[in-house]
Amino acid sequence: MPKPLPGAATLAALAILSSCSSPKPEPPKTVKINKQPFGQTRNGESVELYTLTNKNGVETSITNYGGRVVTLKVPGRAGKFADVVLGFDSLDGYLGNNPYFGALIGRYGNRIGKAKFTLDGKEYKLAANDGANSLHGGVVGFDKVVWKAQEGTGEEPSLKLTYLSKDGEEGYPGNLSVTVVYTLTDKNELKIDYTAGTDKDTVLNLTNHAYFNLAGEGVGDILGHEIMLNADRFTPIDSGLIPTGELKPVKGTPFDLTKPTAIGAHINDKDQQIQFGKGYDHNFVFNGGGGLALAARVVEPKSGRVMEVLTTQPGVQFYTGNFLDGSVHGKGGKAYSYRSAFCLETQHFPDSPNKPDFPSVVLKPGEKFESTTIYRFTTQ
């Protein structure tokens, strides 16, 4: 027997049902770059916070105040996300006293001995802001200025920051125009491309000063993290942390991190270099020829988070948060305690302007400075 035709009421019900099930709901649109106000500097300049999200849900937020990486949320072995960089919830924290959390560092990252150098026969005097030496670009380095920001338009979310460091700023010669592009790739990498040009001979050393804890910021110390540095040599320092000029083999010293080693394994050894650094606070000299290559690999065994660092730079400052002492309160009011983070600041060697045998950090008009560093996150 043929089925009776549906009545009007049944048709109406069917229409409602079909309007619910089709067309299929759109998948939530991934916000790739989200821009929000982050406050004002003490001079009244407005500052923004840009949140970049990749297709895997990995997220980083970056402010154009000092080009600082404010958050970086990456998954662990079990898929749980954690914010792996130290920092603050608001701009105020960054304006206050803090050890360069997440910042872009320049014009000269790391130390210049006796706060002076000679270039083309002329002596340049810098601010002595670290004992007798100059550290991280002086009193107002690139970490404390407002960068111009422009959102990228490529497939992967990116943020372009530019800054013009004027001739004579912090004692350095030449108008230096700097561009830094942060890209959050779909391979879960935070890629940092630096370029710069000058109108007079100058020196430069650009880096990023993110403080990492792969267990999550504010979660204890980093002594159980295992680190591998692809460096057979390091640059030993004097008691003011200025390189002596020697490139010393790491073999047989606490600086042999060529095989995965717990950061805590030798950090308190009775070794003069370790004592000068109060732990690790040394520049390592990468093996390899200057192309983009694996420089470091760090594993946090409990969460399974892995960070690999690739760079075109010749060295890295491996710093183990020896000056953190719980006095700085970061995100959520957490006290950032002794050795609760490590830094891998890819760089040219400290005090290169005074060390003619170190790779040159001089940039001349007409030349283009270029460097790339990648922080890649995986799990194991």
**Residues in touch with ligand GLA (CB under 6 A):** 99-100, 110, 135, 241, 281, 317, 319, 323, 343, 345
- Minimum Å gap between C-beta 289 and ligand GLA is 26
What is the rounded distance in angstroms from the CA atom of residue 346 to the CA atom of residue 205? 9
- In the chain, the largest separation of any two C-alpha atoms, in whole Å, equals 106
- Minimum Å gap between C-beta 286 and ligand GLA is 17
Q: How wide is the angle at C-alpha 74 spanned by C-alphas 70 and 80, nearest 5°?
A: 125
Query: Which is nearer to ligand GLA, 214 or 241 (by Cβ)?
Result: 241
- Minimum Å gap between C-beta 103 and ligand GLA is 10
φ, ψ of residue 56 to 5 degrees: the values are: -95, 5
Query: Which is nearer to ligand GLA, 63 or 98 (by Cβ)?
Result: 98
The residues facing 371 across adjacent strands are 194
Note the helical H segments in 45-160.
91-95
Q: Which residue reads 């006796």 in tokens?
A: 114
What is the rounded distance in angstroms from the CA atom of residue 307 to the CA atom of residue 375? 6
Q: Which residue type, as a one-letter code, is found at position 7?
A: G
Cis amide bond preceding 23, omega within 30: yes
What is the rounded distance in angstroms from the CA atom of residue 214 to the CA atom of residue 52? 19
Query: Which is nearer to ligand GLA, 50 or 117 (by Cβ)?
Result: 117
Chain centre distance of CA 166: 24
Query: Which is nearer to ligand GLA, 11 or 335 (by Cβ)?
Result: 335
- Minimum Å gap between C-beta 34 and ligand GLA is 30
Comparing every residue's Cβ against ligand GLA, the nearest one is: 99
Query: Which is nearer to ligand GLA, 110 or 340 (by Cβ)?
Result: 110
Chain centre distance of CA 148: 18
Query: Which is nearer to ligand GLA, 323 or 338 (by Cβ)?
Result: 323
Check 189, 217, 226, 345 and give the catalytic one.
345
48 is catalytic: no
Chain centre distance of CA 272: 28
What is the rounded distance in angstroms from the CA atom of residue 301 to the CA atom of residue 294? 20
- Minimum Å gap between C-beta 319 and ligand GLA is 4
Q: Collapse the DSSP code of 277 into the 3-class scheme (helix H, G, I; strand E, B; otherwise coil) and give the result.
A: helix
Query: Which is nearer to ligand GLA, 116 or 278 (by Cβ)?
Result: 278
Cis amide bond preceding 233, omega within 30: no
- Minimum Å gap between C-beta 152 and ligand GLA is 29
Cis amide bond preceding 99, omega within 30: no
What is the rounded distance in angstroms from the CA atom of residue 354 to the CA atom of residue 74? 40
348 is catalytic: no
- Minimum Å gap between C-beta 197 and ligand GLA is 26
Q: Which residue reads 């953190």 in tokens?
A: 324
Q: Which residue reads 């089925």 in tokens?
A: 3
The answer to whether 205 and 108 have CB atoms below 8 angstroms apart is: yes
Check 169, 170, 209, 300 and give the catalytic one.
209
Active-site residue list:
209, 345
